[in-house]
Amino acid sequence: MKLAIIGSTGNVGRKTIEIIEKSNLKVDKLFLVASSKSKGKKLSFRGKEIEIEELENYDFSKAQITFFAAGSSVAKIWVPKAAKKTVVIDNSSFFRMQDDVPLVVPEVNSEALEKHKNIISNPNCSTIQMVLALKPLHDEYKIKRVVVSTYQAVSGAGKASMDELVDQTKKYLEDKKINPKNFTKQIAFNLIPHIDSFSDNGYTKEELKMTNETKKILNSEIAVTATCVRVPVKTGHSESINIEFDNLYDLNNIKRILRKAPGCKVIDDHKDGGYVTPLDVEGDHTTYISRVRKDNTNVKAINLWVVSDNLLKGAALNTVQIAECLMKKM
């Protein structure tokens, strides 16, 4: 199988290379593509140095599957062109809500791949880890409503934002003036309840992504409301999720269902440290679930804490898993 990665030098692009390299995928040829700034540079893959090609002059027919890890502005222009010659798995938000584009988390709705027309969208990082936990619970009890608050790492905003967190932290500790560049306010030792731009209704686009994508992936009748917060963590998104069911539930059965959920692991010991934090999940392919408990204000609701590496399952890993599903049918 011949594969290509567009945006191969960015955070997600590099993670995609890393995951494919460690996977069992049979790769006959890997093409690495980026902007003109990276043309001619080389990256290592399975013991070989691969020279990066320039997007403007790249021939998309060279690969059977092409990963786009380059953002919406690039995807808007180049994905339609690429899809005429290759199957595209796009990590940007641009095509996610188009009716004829499958939005896929393989453990949740791999059947949606059967309807693809050479473009497949990877969901938002926060949506992916949430629906992994929601899907088996929805199958058993039917979810009525979800209230989620996210605590999202700076790596979700790119390498420059990761570097700025380090720089701001140093300046803060040295009592130097901080002038935010990639954030609307200081991120070091702070929280920012604002990810992506604001919509007219007061929600940010990130919050609306979680709402709309969850409905598309699971069920359009589920009510979802989100508050998305950027936190001074390098990698790993966390979510506090309140789930209301149509039906009464048994908490022990809830825990049994979650322990069997594909891609998930429950660590929920009611003692100091008996839960998972972002530092625990960095570099891990698993989505972790902790703090499973009844909502003592609603007999049909529960609370969960869900944590995952946003650069892996939240981005690169999920796209590679989509490719694995496709390759089984090719």
Question: How far is the CA of 231 from the CAs of 15, 91, 153, 217, 321, in angstroms?
Answer: 22, 22, 6, 27, 28
pLDDT of residue 221: 97
pLDDT of residue 330: 79
The pLDDT tens digits for 257-298 are 999 999 999 999 999 999 999 999 999 999 999 999 999 999
Strands 48-51 and 42-45: antiparallel
The pLDDT tens digits for 101-133 are 999 999 999 999 999 999 999 999 999 999 999
Domain 2-123+315-329 has CATH 3.40.50.720: yes
User: How many Å apart are CA 124 and CA 64, to the nearest integer?
Assistant: 24
DSSP states of 168-237 as a string? HHHHHHTT-----SSSSS--TT--B---SPBPTTS-BHHHHHHHHHHHHHT-TT-EEEEEEEE-S-SS-E
Say whether 320 sits in a helix, a strand or coil: helix
Torsion angles phi and psi, residue 134, rounded to 5 = -75, -40
Largest CA distance in the chain: 61
Q: What is the pLDDT along the chain (330 residues), one digit of tens a residue?
A: 999 999 999 989 999 999 999 998 899 999 999 999 999 999 999 999 999 999 999 999 999 999 999 989 999 999 999 999 999 999 999 999 999 999 999 999 999 999 999 999 999 999 999 999 999 999 999 999 999 999 999 999 999 999 999 999 999 999 999 999 999 999 999 999 999 999 999 999 999 999 999 999 999 999 999 999 999 999 999 999 999 999 999 999 999 999 999 999 999 999 999 999 999 999 999 999 999 999 999 999 999 999 999 999 999 999 999 999 999 887
pLDDT of residue 213: 98
User: How many Å apart are CA 114 and CA 18, to the nearest integer?
Assistant: 27
pLDDT of residue 329: 82
Residue type at position 177: K
pLDDT of residue 225: 98
Burial class (CB in 10 A: 0-12, 13-18, 19+), 175: exposed
CB atoms within 10 A of CB 246: 13
CB atoms within 10 A of CB 232: 18
DSSP states of 74-121 as a string? HHHHHHHHHTTTSEEEE-SSTTTT-TTS-B--HHHHGGGGGG-SSEEE
Q: Fold for domain 127-310?
A: Dihydrodipicolinate Reductase; domain 2 (3.30.360)
pLDDT of residue 190: 98
| Residues recognised as catalytic | 125, 237
Indicate where the chain has its CATH 3.40.50.720 domain(s): 2-123+315-329
What token pair was written down for 61? 């027919």
Indicate where the chain has its CATH 3.30.360.10 domain(s): 127-310
If we measure between CA atoms, which residue out of 127, 104, 91 comes closest to residue 287? 127
